[in-house]
Every structure is written in structure tokens, then in C-alpha cells.
Amino acid sequence: KVGGTDAAHTLDDYEEGTFSPNFGADNQGFVIGSTSSAVGKYTKIGSLVHIQLNITIANSTPTSQGLAIGGLPFSGNSSTYAYFTLGGAYPGNLSTSLWQKGVWRLDQNGVKIRMYIPDENVNKDGNQMWTGSNTEYAMQVSGTYIITI
């Protein structure tokens, strides 16, 4: 019970788990050499889902496909976008200045986050975020979004 003793104050929808973040079958922004780490954790409380993920790829090359990470555990609400800060991204020494402007944006009603530049109102590709091949790219994302229950 939270804040009272009646049924309305009962926490009855709580779940913790793991998921496997990925760049999808079409690699979503990279020609991927190998994935050395792809770990996601979530906590769901009612219609709120908090995620933490780490995905690291090696020997990979950015492409002109949109930069996106899929595999989130629940579909976002169809009427809202969710935004996650970049904190913890390791873009490497070949990164562009766009990393200072970008956020991850969850698709409406989706399970995929895309690299988004708010002041340009546009999603970005892998090769727009990096200028060439690198031995390792690591991205860590943490944030909360709303789902429909």
C-alpha cells in the first residue's frame, strides 16, 4: 500500500526484467563486425517503464541508415514520444559535433529508439554521427517512458 490503506493505493502492477537491445536485422546505422555486449534491464510500474541499456559493437562501420536501437521490452504509448539523454555514449574519436545536440527518441507506439536532433527536428544516420570506422562503439541509455495498459 502506498499513501493509504484502500485498494486504490495498492501497488499491483510491478515487474522487473531484462531485454536484449539490438540494431535489428538491417543493422540500423552500422555494418556490424561483432556485438560484444547487449544488455538491457527494465522496471515496469503501472504504465511507466524505466529502461537501462548498454550495447557495444566492435569492428563496425557507420552507414546512411537511420541510427536506431530496437528490442525494448514494451511498446511506447501511441500518442507520445519519449526522449532519453545521451549520457554515457562513447562515440569514439571519430564522432561529429552532433553528439552534443542529440537525444534518443522512442517511436510512438514502438519498441525502437532513434538518434534525434531536436533543434533540427530530424533523425540522424550512423554516418552522420561518426566520420569513419572505429574499433568500438558503445552506447548506454537510461530513461522512462509511458505504455498503454
Mean pLDDT, the chain, whole residue set: 80
Q: Taking a C-beta distance cutoff of 8 angstroms, is the pair 82, 145 a contact?
A: yes
Share of the chain above pLDDT 70, in %: 81
pLDDT at 83: 86
The H-assigned helical ranges of the chain are 126-129
pLDDT at 16: 98
Contacts for 97 with CB less than 8 Å, ≥ 6 apart: none
Give me the mean pLDDT over the 42-65 stretch. Answer: 86
Give me the mean pLDDT over the 37-61 stretch. Answer: 89
Which 3-state string (H, E, C) describes the chain?
A: CCCCCCHHHCCCCEEEEEECCECCCCCCCEECCEEEEEEEEEEEECCEEEEEEEEEEEEEEECCCECEEECCCCCCCCCCCEEECCCCCECCCCECHHHHCCEEEECCCCCEEEEEEHHHCEECEHHHHECCCEEEEEEEEEEEEECCC
Give me the mean pLDDT over the 32-47 stretch. Answer: 88
pLDDT tens sequence across 79-96: 878 888 765 555 556 666
pLDDT tens sequence across 96-145: 677 778 888 898 888 888 888 888 888 887 777 776 666 677 788 888 99
Q: Which three cell numbers stand for residue 33?
A: 563486425
pLDDT at 134: 64
pLDDT at 89: 54
114 or 9: which carries more pLDDT confidence?
114
